[in-house]
Every structure is written in structure tokens, then in C-alpha cells.
Amino acid sequence: MLILTRCESERVVIPRSRIEIVVVEVRGNTVKLGFRAPQRYEIFRGEVFDRMAMDDWDEDEDTNEEDVK
């Protein structure tokens, strides 16, 4: 994991993917980030992505149970 220190309005760039992450605002222990990326990339908050992954896992288990019957 790469760990960087950034101030408000500073950015991080992932050049090959053409993704840019900008620190929009820092207020207390909350940081607002902005993301610029080509539309082909989906960007999710971690908790949303984890929930989607669990839903996929549950669907896979349901499918496997049906296959066994």
C-alpha cells in the first residue's frame, strides 16, 4: 500500500489509467475526495463495494446449492 500525505486541492494521479484523485476538503477527521476517471471505470465507496461482493457471494452460494440438487 502506498501512503501519501496531501493537503487540500492537491492530487494523486494514476497515469496509465488516467485516474486523478483530488483532496477537495479536509474538515476535522473527514476528508472529501474527488475522482476524475474515464467512464469505463466504476468507482465505489469501500462499504458499498463490500456489500456488492457479499451479494455476489450469496448469489454464487444459491447457484451452487441449486446445482447440487
- Exposed / middle / buried, residue 64 (Cβ in 10 Å: 0-12, 13-18, 19+): exposed
pTM of the entire predicted model = 0.72
pLDDT of residue 58: 72
Asked, for residue 33, whether it belongs to a domain, the answer is yes
Asked, for residue 4, whether it belongs to a domain, the answer is no
Convert the pLDDT of each residue in 18-59 to its tens digit. Answer: 999 999 999 999 999 999 999 999 999 999 999 999 888 776
pLDDT grade for 14, boundaries at 50, 70 and 90: very high
pLDDT of residue 67: 54
Query: Number of folded domains in the chain?
Result: 1
Asked, for residue 2, whether it belongs to a domain, the answer is no
CA–CA separation, 21 and 42 (whole Å):
14
**Domain interval for residue 35:** 11-68
Asked, for residue 6, whether it belongs to a domain, the answer is no
